[in-house]
Structures are given as structure tokens and as C-alpha cells.
Structure 1
Amino acid sequence: MSPAGNRAVEAAREYHDRTTHSYASVRQSGHSLDWDTKPFLYKVYPDLPVTPLPREFPQPVQDTLGAVNAFRGAGGTLTLEILTSLLFFTAGLTRKKTYPGGGEMHFRAAPSTGALYQTEVYLVAADLPGLSAGVYHFSPGDFCLRRLRDGDFRSELSAAALDDGIAASAATVVLTGIYWRNTWKYQARAYRHLFWDSGTMLANLLAAAGAMGIPAHLITLFLDARVNGLLALDSDKEVSLELVPLGSAAAPAVSAPVEPISPRCLPLSSSEVDYPLVREIHAAASLVEPDEVKAVRASATGVPRSVPTTLLALPEPLPVAGRPLGETIIRRGSTRQFSGQPISARALSTALFHATRGIPADFLPGPGHRLVDLYLIVNAVDGIASGAYCYWPEAHGLEQLQAGDFRGQAGYLCLDQALGSDASAVIFFLAELGPILERFGNRGYRLANLEAGVIGGKCYLAAYGQGFGASGLTFYDGDVVRFFSPHARGKDALFVTVLGRSVRGAPGIEVPLQIAKK
């Protein structure tokens, strides 16, 4: 890939095309996993000052569905205890499972492709009772913050994002992605996963903040190198992805000076494989000058959509799930096997409705606006005929594209995985990348994948809140588009979420981590 700036959109097109899956490409890749170099799942700073987080913190007790579709929190005060809760329900270690033979799996609050957890969490905070102002890394393994910088750096982060609200926030969460954690298994396609997985984490964070009354919104447009420098990232290996300001506090008069630092990190594995294509697409989608940030942000305008007049009306969605958000997140885990049994039309209606009520983000002008389209294969939903559909959030209805039993096709499209054929419903996220790249430049590629990840994460929460399962899958790109064509002609496949009834998991001893309620 040739060096390119954000407006040289052939870079995103080239990356997408070179990382598409087909039946042939998957079988001819020759890639195998080197278990001796599997990356460690936690980033370790051995020399930084440690701040243990309180073990007693409030849980988000609002009903799951109300929290999922909350657009912004409402004026609550961010305390250390509430901040701790938000960190836990976004990226915390929720339980461990030990398998016969001694294998152990750690489960976190949000799912991750391959359970590789390449998304790291940082914090740029003002002075809070019990926490001094500074730049911190959140370590879910020992549930601590480690201080990278001492002082108030909110103005520096605000300048990097050209957003005054950051300087007036009590703290800003910064999500980053470590390439090698995911490229180890998924090679160059892993760049897409950075946004799927950070998107599902953001679904948790925004829902938890809304449930606890903490104002929160998503910032995706910023000067990448400046944020990376503030966090002292090795940007050949780890990069900033998204920012989420939380709460409010008096803005600092001036930022502390940002001196270069190089805190020591333990290596993730004995060796790493470099994937230049990943670094190149990230560089091509990075914003370098303030005017670029302004120009891309100005592109966040509404695009009219022509909703079909004839749609299958869905049942009225449930207003509540009957399960608090905190309990839903703790009990959540990506479903590994579906029973093939149906869910109700109202259950599907509820998940779709609450997942698509909007994202408070700087690339969207408000609720009712979106970049991605949702296509479905309905396998087993009581009250809805099996077939292929397009979902229209604006009217909360389904456009039937083709009737019939497509279980076999659903499994095939999901990379020949039984999860696709055994699910009750399969949601395919597609987008017309051409106009998106024209509006946002290469950054638009990140935004489209991220939006799909956030909506997919909301589907997870809405499903588990109602008592059934969900999982995220990869797919054969071109075959997905062809299956839904001519309706989907000209679009690209981005992500898949499957919903359905789970079967009992593999044998093992599962130990939920104890959370002290406050």
C-alpha cells in the first residue's frame, strides 16, 4: 500500500479488498497458529506507581433495555467509586473458567474476537476524591490504575480532539488497540477487529454511564499522533482508537507540559510478526492537522434515507427486560453453541429496536442517523417467516427480500460455522463504503466498522438482558453481499451478530468474581 493521507481513499478500499474472506482465500492462506508466541492478554507496566481501585463500587441497576438505548447520561457526579464501576463494566475481569486438564479462560465484561482482548483502556483524569489528576492505564488483571503522568492533562487531550468538552469533563476514557494481540490469529484482517471489539466495549461503557446518570459521548475525530504521544504509546504497535469524556469538572487553566516518556512494558510474547498493511491503513486513516479534524467533523451531517412504504411491522418492543444492566454484563458470555430453537418475534423486535436508537458520537448528527445497514437471515423466530430481510430502524420494520429456509446459507456465509445455521436470527452489518469514504476520507472506514461494533454490542446486551444468547462472527465478504443482492449491490459486509437460544456449555468449573455492592 502506498503512503496516503486521509483523503486518498483508495487506501481504505485497497485494505478492505485485500483482507476480504472468500471460500478459497481461507483455505489457501497457509496460516497456522504459533502457540509459543501467543500474546499475553494483559499489558504490564512493572515500574509505574499503582493505585488500587476500590473493591466496593455501585452497580448499574437500571433495566438493561433502558440503559442500552439511553442516548446520554444526565448530570451525575463522577466519583472514584462510579468511575471504578464504569471501568469494571466496560473492561473488567468478570469470571474465570477452568477446564479439565488445567486450561483456564478469563472472561471480561465485553467480548473480543478470539478472546484475545487487544483493546486497552487509559484514563485522563482531573483531581477526584481518592485519585489525583493524571494519565493512567487500567489493568483489569489486578484491578488497579497505573500512573503514566502526574498532573492535569485534560487541556492537552482537548486540544488533540479540538473539543472543549474534554477539558471540562471529570475524566476521559481512551481506548487503544494493540495490533499483535489480534494479528497473531487473524493477520491483517485484525485491523477491522479493533473497531468491532472497541465498539462492543463502548456499548457497555455508554450503557453503564447512562444507567448511572453520567454524561458521556463518543469522540472519534482527533489528532492521532498527539493522543498517542500523551499516552506514551509505541504507535507501530499500539494506537489510540476512541475517546469518551465522562461527567464534568472545572476546566484546568493550562495543561501540564507533555514531556516525552518511555515507560517500560513487559513483552507480550517472545517474538512478534509485523503486518505492514495494518500500520499503513491506520496511518492513511489518521488525522494530522487540526483543519483535517474540522473538515471531517463538518461531514457529520444527516443523509436522507428513503424508507420503503411496505414493511413487515414488528411487534411492539419490550420497554424493560427485567434484568439490571450490571447483572446482564456479569452474566454475559459469547454463545459458543446455539440449540436451533426459536426466539419470539417480540424478542427479536426488542433487540433490534433498543440497539438502533442512536449513538452519541461526533460523526453522527444525532439520534436517527447511521452509516450502516442491517440485513437479517431469520432462521427460527416465532411469528416471522424464515427468509432474508433488511431492517429499517426509522420505521422499526422489516423489508422482506426473499422467503425461504436459509439455515444452510447462513452457516456458510458465517465462514462455515454452525453458529450461523443454528442461530435464531443472523444480523449482517453492511455499508456503502464509497459515499462514506467520500464524506469522511479513510477515517470513514474506521467509523463504519466502529458503528457496526457498537450496534452489535448493544444487540449483545439486549439479547442477554432478555435471557437468550448472542455472538459476533466473521464471514465471507463477497458472498454476503451477493446473497442479499440486488438489494445490497454496491455495499460491503462489515460485521455479523447472531442471536439465539444457547445450549449448555463445555464442562468446566466457572468462578464468578465477587463484587462488593455499595
Structure 2
Amino acid sequence: MKNALDTVLAYHQRTKHHFQHYAAGPGGLDWKNQPNPFRSFTGSPQLALPLLTAASYPAYADLYTPGKIAPQALTLNSIAALFELAFGLSAWKQYDDTRWALRCNPSSGNLHPTEAYLVSAGCEGIEDGVHHYVSRDHLLEQRCRFDTASNRSERILPPDSFLLGLSSIHWREAWKYGERAFRYCQHDVGHAIAAARYAAATLGWHVQVLSIWGDAEIGAILGVDRDQDFDAAEHESPDAILLVTASAPGCAAVEPDAATLVNAARRGQWQGHANVLAAHHSHQWPVIDEVALASAKPETLEAAWQAPGLPEPVTGGCGRTAVEIIRQRRSAQAFDGVSTLPAKAFYRMLDLTLPRQAVPPWDATAWAPRVHLLLFVHRVDDVAPGLYLLLRNEGIEAKLRAELNPEFEWLQTPGCPAHFSLFRLVAADAKNAARALSCHQDIAADGAFSVAMLAEYDTPLTATPWVYRQLFWEAGILGQVLYLEAEAAGVRGTGIGCYFDDAVHDLLGIKDAFIQSMYHFTVGTALEDTRLQTLPAYAHLVRGGV
């Protein structure tokens, strides 16, 4: 019988794509049973949330200056704004009679396995309890009403705060991607964490992933462990819980007690039953349940990590508001293959992937960076085409130099900011390599540059298999940074989940599993599909805004 670590390692190896064959998938799509993109709970009381209006919003550039945006009061309106900007709809797309929604938080294949929950106590206009967010209708469904009468002697949450819970419905991704779907669900959790952090920053709020808490506590609080509320419906797996605090800059957030929240949830009144997303599952992927169980996170004590004191990020030229950038984020479907990217925009994108103190989205996480960027530079002004490596944690440099291909140059990139650990490995036309490694997709070669995200792998997983999920989260957060920064620079990004894992490692000369490729991404000038109509996100709702 395999232990948890062996199960996780075996899953990762089993779900790699290879030039000779792809990881196990459905082979074809069962369109008649495509999962409903919206989870809801029948019988739960609903609270319609106010929509954002054309009010004044902070500049996108201000998100990165600590203390620049004064914190707004914690109200129903401000909470509604956070959920709309983090998880709400950004538009509808239509082609002939087919219509689908886009959301502010990205998702592999636009399948959206991530569900969001609000845990509130003491917020005017919202009953104390656990609420599920329905993005289609921008409303909260109250899943649990806390027994406030018996909780008067204990504070459930710190003042001016609430919890934001995340869970995943693995079937949503597995329907299309088969066994590799668990990876993509974890990418999406990372995107969701970053989306929540950016949305909170527009309100002057802070977000912290409560990384000590275990999955059992999170599942009990969100109610996703209540089998009786799901019946035949697709279950949700607990992922993360975030503390959102509306307080003045510099005020330390007080972490709530998990046991107190679990007790409040167990004593509360639960309502509602989950909807069935697909009446028939044409394929079963038991390996996803196996790796989910093996990578379950217990309650842990983690050493605090302090981000280094870096200079202010490279300045950008974006004059748009944060709300505009968040709402206009899209995944490019194709690039023009000729446009170049200014070096300043390129360096700013890379600069914001480096963790800084009190700067989103990295101030939401408490672990040291373990993911580094292998860059295929195609068309960046004043940067020679080739293969580059950006190290986000300098402690790995010596080992990489010793382990990677000995013929690499390791040339410090001329003209890049002094605090970058950006090395040119090979000066060459890297377009064909980028295309081939990303499952022969032209989009990896036609942009200004593409990225393979390389995670420190075997060492962090040895004692803590659940870190496997965290590595994908970090990659997803990186993807969200690149998405928004691409929009701010007037170009567009796209996450790439299909790539040939070991072929990337072979390119670098990696002989073991100390580094693994976890996610690919590409940035360039997008070609618009003029056949598609773009429709307003919430035209189907008629109600006031904030």
C-alpha cells in the first residue's frame, strides 16, 4: 500500500504529457453532459448583492503602493464589490446560438471548478453564518446560520474582518481534461487567491491565506463535508480559507481560532442542497480522488517567511483604474506573431512576480517562493531572443548551476534591474522550442515571450505531500500577476496547462525530480475573433449598484 507521498509522486508522473502520448483523458467531449458552470444550493435563503457602478475607483498602479488606498468600511456594499471583482462575471460571449460567461477569476477551459464562500459575523446587512456566492446572479446563498445567542461570550471573528473560503469541484475539469484535471483545479485555486487579493486591494483591504488551518477544519466550516447536502451532486473538496481584513495599513491581522469557527458551524442551522452539475459522468477518474486524499492538508505549524526588502517595482505606463484592468482580463486565443513588447513592460511584469512586503498579491501568502520562471523570449525590444531563467528565491541558484546543462551561459541580462536574478542561458530563436514544448500550440511561439514555471519539487514534498497543491497555487498566483500586468501593458496573456513535462526537463538537462514544470504561460498582442459578440456581464439583472 502506497503512502501519501508515493501516491502524490505517482500521480504527478502518471499525468505527464509526452511527445509519444498524452495523459489519460476522455478522448472526446460528452457535450450533452457538459457540467453546469454554476453551483447553487436549492432551499438556501438568498441575498441579492448590489452591483458596481461607474463610481470613482483607484488607479491600477496604486494597488502596488502600500497605504495609497484608504481602507473602506466593511459593509454589505464593499463585500459585494470584492466578490464581484474577484469571482463575478466580467462579460458574456456569444457565437451564433451559443452563449457562455467569462469571469474575473481565470479558469482552465473556462470550466471554473473553484467555488467561493463568505463566513461572516457582525457585518451589517449580512446574517452571521456561512454563505455561498453565485456568480451568475451575484448573490449569496446562506448555507449556515450561526447560533448567535449561544456565541455571545466568544468572538467568532476579529473586528472588521470576514473569511473567504475556496473549494473545488474536480469533476468540472475532469469532464474535459481527465486525470490531469486535479492539477488544473489547483492552478485555479492560485488564480482565485490572487484575484481575491487584488479585489481587496481596490478597497484598501488586506488578505491573508490561513496556511496553518487543515482541510478538515475548512471543510467543516464551509459545509463541504456534509454529505447529506450533496446526495447525488458532485462534491466539493476544501482548498483554502482567507482572512480578509478592513483595517488601517500596518495593523496586524488577528488570526481567528479554527476550533471556534468549527464549533459555530456545527451548532449552526444548515440549509440547502447542492444542484447536480451533470446528470451522467461518462468517465470516472479514481486517481483524482486518490491524490486529493493523499495531498490533504492537516493542521500545521509553519515557519513565518519574510519577503525581502526590494526596490519599488519598475514603473508602468498604465493610466486605467484597477476595476477596468480586472474586468477586461481575458485569455488570448491567438497572437499576431509580429508585435514586439517594450523592454520596460517586460521587466515590470517580471518585477511584480517577485514577492514584496505589503504588496499584492504576494503579501497574502506566508511561504517562501518555490517557483521560478524559465522564459522563452521571442520579441522583446532590446532583449536578445533566447532562453532565460528568473530566480525568485536566490537560495536555489547554486544547485541549479550545478544540476542544469553545463553548456548554459548564465549571463546576467544586460539592462535588467539590478535586483533581478535574471540569467540568459542560451541566445537563440526559441520559438520552435516554445511551440513544441507547449503541446505544439502556436500561441506559445507567436507572442512576445512564453514561460515555463519551474517548481522546487522533491525536497519540499518529502515531509509534506500537501505542498504539492501549494506549488500549483503559487504557479496560479504567478499566472494572475502576468494576466493583469499584460492587460496593463496593452497586450494579453494566456495560461497553458498542456505541455510536455519531461521534455521541458530534458531541455534544461534535469536528470532527477528536484525541479518540475508546473504551468506554462504566454504573453503577446492578441488577435480578436470578430465572430464573437461581447455582452455585458449583468444585463440580465435589474438592481441598484454601489
Report the TM-score range of the alignment, normalised by the length of the smaller protein: 0.7 to 0.9
Partners of 2:504 and 2:116 in 1: how far apart? Answer: 33
Counterpart position of 1:267: 276
Could you report, residue by residue, the CA deviation over 1:212-240 in whole angstroms, capped at 9, with x for unpaired residues?
11121122442212321232225783111
TM-score between both structures, scaled by the size of structure 1: 0.85
Give the residue type in structure 2 aligned to 1:325: A
Once the two structures are overlaid, the 10-residue window that deviates more, 225-234 or 253-262, is 253-262
TM-score between both structures, scaled by the size of structure 2: 0.81
Name the SS for the 1:217 alignment partner: strand
Counterpart position of 1:11: 7
Correspondence 1:331 to 2:328: yes
Once the two structures are overlaid, the 10-residue window that deviates more, 81-90 or 70-79, is 70-79
Give the residue type in structure 2 aligned to 1:287: K
Calculate percent identity across the aligned residue pairs.
25
Name the SS for the 1:20 alignment partner: coil
Contact 2:388 2:422 in 1 (8 A): yes
Contact 1:220 1:241 in 2 (8 A): no
Partners of 1:166 and 1:197 in 2: how far apart? Answer: 27
Give the residue type in structure 2 aligned to 1:240: P
State how many pairs are aligned.
485
Could you report, residue by residue, the CA deviation over 1:181-204 in whole angstroms, capped at 9, with x for unpaired residues?
000011121111112112112222
Using the TM superposition, give the Cα deviation of residue 506 of structure 1 relative to its aligned residue in structure 2, in angstroms: 4.1
Instruction: From the superposition, tell whether residues 414 and 343 of structure 1 become closer, same or farther in structure 2 (CA, over 3 Å).
Output: same
Choose the corresponding residue for 1:412, options 417, 429, 436: 436
Using the TM superposition, give the Cα deviation of residue 40 of structure 1 relative to its aligned residue in structure 2, in angstroms: 0.5
Using the TM superposition, give the Cα deviation of residue 262 of structure 1 relative to its aligned residue in structure 2, in angstroms: 7.1
Name the SS for the 1:106 alignment partner: strand
Using the TM superposition, give the Cα deviation of residue 166 of structure 1 relative to its aligned residue in structure 2, in angstroms: 5.5
Contact 1:316 1:349 in 2 (8 A): no
Once the two structures are overlaid, the 10-residue window that deviates more, 375-384 or 395-404, is 395-404
Contact 1:15 1:281 in 2 (8 A): yes
Superposed, 1:183-194 pairs within 5 Å as 183-194=174-185
Counterpart position of 1:311: none
Could you report, residue by residue, the CA deviation over 1:113-140 in whole angstroms, capped at 9, with x for unpaired residues?
0110111111101121211211000001
Partners of 2:161 and 2:24 in 1: how far apart? Answer: 51
Could you report, residue by residue, the CA deviation over 1:30-61 in whole angstroms, capped at 9, with x for unpaired residues?
72211121100000212110100012468783
Give the residue type in structure 2 aligned to 1:275: W
Correspondence 1:448 to 2:471: yes
Superposed, 1:204-283 pairs within 5 Å as 204-233=195-224, 237-247=235-245, 256=264, 258-259=266-267, 261=270, 263-272=272-281, 273-283=283-293
Could you report, residue by residue, the CA deviation over 1:274-308 in whole angstroms, capped at 9, with x for unpaired residues?
322111112112234x4xx12xx14x55799xxxx
Choose the corresponding residue for 2:532, options 500, 508, 514: 508
Partners of 1:351 and 1:60 in 2: how far apart? Answer: 26
Instruction: From the superposition, tell whether residues 91 and 279 of structure 1 become closer, same or farther in structure 2 (CA, over 3 Å).
Output: same
Name the SS for the 1:492 alignment partner: strand
Using the TM superposition, give the Cα deviation of residue 427 of structure 1 relative to its aligned residue in structure 2, in angstroms: 1.3
Once the two structures are overlaid, the 10-residue window that deviates more, 24-33 or 217-226, is 24-33
Could you report, residue by residue, the CA deviation over 1:410-461 in whole angstroms, capped at 9, with x for unpaired residues?
111111111101111101111121111135x111111111011101111111
Q: Which runs of 5+ in 2 are unaligned?
A: 228-233, 248-253, 357-361, 395-418
Partners of 1:221 and 1:54 in 2: how far apart? Answer: 33
Contact 1:377 1:406 in 2 (8 A): yes
Contact 2:23 2:180 in 1 (8 A): no
Counterpart position of 2:486: 463
Partners of 2:363 and 2:55 in 1: how far apart? Answer: 22
Correspondence 1:378 to 2:402: no
Once the two structures are overlaid, the 10-residue window that deviates more, 38-47 or 478-487, is 478-487
Could you report, residue by residue, the CA deviation over 1:288-333 in whole angstroms, capped at 9, with x for unpaired residues?
4x4xx12xx14x55799xxxxxxxxxx9822452121110111111
Partners of 2:126 and 2:174 in 1: how far apart? Answer: 35
Name the SS for the 2:390 alignment partner: strand
Name the SS for the 2:333 alignment partner: coil
Partners of 1:109 and 1:30 in 2: how far apart? Answer: 28
Counterpart position of 1:308: none
Once the two structures are overlaid, the 10-residue window that deviates more, 225-234 or 409-418, is 225-234
Q: CA RMSD of the aligned region, Å? A: 3.2
Instruction: From the superposition, tell whether residues 257 and 318 of structure 1 become closer, same or farther in structure 2 (CA, over 3 Å).
Output: closer
Instruction: From the superposition, tell whether residues 50 and 29 of structure 1 become closer, same or farther in structure 2 (CA, over 3 Å).
Output: closer
Could you report, residue by residue, the CA deviation over 1:458-478 in whole angstroms, capped at 9, with x for unpaired residues?
111111012110000021101
Choose the corresponding residue for 2:130, options 135, 138, 150: 135
Correspondence 1:85 to 2:81: yes
Superposed, 1:121-132 pairs within 5 Å as 121-132=116-127
Partners of 2:101 and 2:430 in 1: how far apart? Answer: 35
Instruction: From the superposition, tell whether residues 488 and 378 of structure 1 become closer, same or farther in structure 2 (CA, over 3 Å).
Output: farther
Counterpart position of 1:312: none
Give the residue type in structure 2 aligned to 1:146: E
Q: Which runs of 5+ in 1 are unaligned?
A: 305-314
Using the TM superposition, give the Cα deviation of residue 486 of structure 1 relative to its aligned residue in structure 2, in angstroms: 5.4
Choose the corresponding residue for 1:495, options 519, 527, 530: 519
Name the SS for the 1:502 alignment partner: coil
Counterpart position of 1:355: 353
Partners of 2:443 and 2:66 in 1: how far apart? Answer: 30
Give the residue type in structure 1 aligned to 2:479: G
Name the SS for the 2:197 alignment partner: helix
Partners of 2:177 and 2:423 in 1: how far apart? Answer: 34
Contact 1:388 1:484 in 2 (8 A): no
Give the residue type in structure 2 aligned to 1:212: L
Choose the corresponding residue for 1:145, options 134, 140, 148: 140
Could you report, residue by residue, the CA deviation over 1:325-350 in whole angstroms, capped at 9, with x for unpaired residues?
11011111101011112111111111
Could you report, residue by residue, the CA deviation over 1:84-123 in whole angstroms, capped at 9, with x for unpaired residues?
11101111011111112x1112111121101101111111
Using the TM superposition, give the Cα deviation of residue 243 of structure 1 relative to its aligned residue in structure 2, in angstroms: 1.3
Counterpart position of 1:114: 109
Instruction: From the superposition, tell whether residues 355 and 517 of structure 1 become closer, same or farther in structure 2 (CA, over 3 Å).
Output: farther
Name the SS for the 1:84 alignment partner: helix
Choose the corresponding residue for 1:203, options 194, 205, 225: 194
Using the TM superposition, give the Cα deviation of residue 514 of structure 1 relative to its aligned residue in structure 2, in angstroms: 5.7
